[in-house]
């Protein structure tokens, strides 16, 4: 399975944020979308998630037998600032999700097992998510996407503001998830991208370009990425 983006464009009045986004993403990989602040990473995700209308281009899934248009249930989006229903407890949230999607989940497990998988303490499961920490809300958001198993998972700055332990747990979850879907995570933290991602994609001046990792040691790759992103400063 591949996710293909062709000539995607997005303008805001006179400013062109996404110029000509074309790329093919493959299943089983975590792609790190690296870019400077204001490069258009979130805008790209909003276009792919259809939260924003594009000004041009298209995207689709390719299962090997032609283009398949994307449906809402094919795409999961994990926001940098997690949004969860504040007046539901963690247990209730998962229970409702499982209830709603009972017919479409291939292998539903008990609620407690899911909460255990993301490391939510038993004493926290009955508390309102209003009282959850940032990391716990992030885990709940991730859990819903793990259960839903979308074909494409978009994570916008996923590990921002997470402590070291929770960040490692989230990385473990992502590595476990990647087998069955395409994961694209956007970040401006290079170390995260180099540590977690199978491929690095730069969003620079409105276009996507892949960074070859072969034959480059960590320092060489880092320098190459910085040079590519800094190119615009000299123009």
Partner 1 sequence: MNKALRISFELRNTYRVNAILYSLRQIPIIKRCLPEGLYQVRALKIFANILSALGEVFSMFVWKILYFALMVSGVSTWYDAADETQLFLHLLVFLTILGGFLNGNIFMPSYDKYYAMILLRMDAKRYTLVNYAYMLAKFVIGYIPVAVWFGRRAGLPLWQCLLLVFFALGTKLTVMQHGLRQYRKRGTALDSKKDGYVGMAEMAALAAAAYGLPALGILLPKSLSLAICSVLTVTGLFSAWKIGKFDSYYEMYREILFDFLNQTAAASTMTRDQTRKTISADPQITSSRSGFEYLNELFIRRHRRILWKTSVRITLVCACIVCWA
Total residues binding partner 1 (CB under 8 A)? 26
**Quick one: DSSP state of residue 66?**
S
Query: How far apart, in whole angstroms, are the C-alpha atoms of residue 191 and residue 96?
Result: 37
- Per CB under 8 A, 209 contacts partner 1: no
Smallest gap from residue 100 Cβ to partner 1 (A): 6
Nearer to partner 1, 120 or 196 (CB): 120
Measured CA to CA, the distance from residue 174 to residue 136 in angstroms comes to 16
Q: Does 72 bind partner 1 (CB under 8 A)?
A: yes
Is residue 78 within 8 A of residue 33, CB to CB? The reply is: no
Q: What sign does the dihedral 38-232-183-190 (CA atoms) show?
A: negative
Q: CB of residue 56 vs partner 1: minimum separation in angstroms?
A: 16
Alpha helices in the chain (DSSP H): 41-48, 90-100, 111-117, 134-148, 164-177, 190-196, 218-230
84 binds partner 1 (CB under 8 A): yes
Residues 24-63 within binding reach of partner 1 (CB under 8 A)? 46, 50-52
Minimum Å gap between C-beta 52 and partner 1 is 8
Binding site for partner 1 (CB under 8 A): 46, 50-52, 72-73, 83-85, 87-89, 92-93, 96-97, 99-101, 123, 126-128, 130, 144, 148
């Amino acid at each position: 399975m591949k996710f293909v983006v062709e000539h995607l464009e997005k303008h805001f009045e006179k400013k062109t944020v996404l110029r000509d986004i074309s790329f093919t993403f493959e299943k089983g990989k975590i792609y790190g979308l690296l870019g400077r602040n204001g490069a258009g990473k979130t805008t790209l995700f909003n276009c792919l998630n259809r939260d924003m209308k594009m000004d041009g281009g298209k995207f689709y899934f390719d299962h090997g037998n032609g283009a398949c248009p994307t449906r809402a249930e094919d795409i999961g989006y994990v926001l940098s600032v997690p949004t969860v229903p504040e007046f539901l407890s963690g247990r209730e949230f998962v229970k409702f999700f499982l209830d709603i999607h009972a017919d479409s989940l291939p292998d539903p497990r008990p609620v407690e097992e899911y909460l255990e998988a993301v490391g939510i303490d038993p004493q926290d499961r009955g508390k309102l998510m209003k009282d959850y920490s940032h990391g716990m809300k992030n885990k709940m958001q991730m859990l819903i996407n793990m259960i839903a198993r979308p074909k494409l998972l978009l994570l916008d700055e996923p590990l921002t503001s997470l402590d070291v332990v929770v960040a490692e747990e989230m990385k473990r979850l992502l590595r476990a998830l990647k087998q069955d879907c395409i994961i694209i995570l956007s970040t401006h933290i290079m170390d995260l991208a180099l540590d977690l991602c199978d491929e690095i994609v730069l969003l620079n001046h409105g276009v996507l370009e892949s960074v070859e990792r072969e034959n480059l040691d960590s320092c060489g790759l880092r320098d190459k990425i910085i040079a590519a992103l800094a190119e615009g400063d000299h123009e």
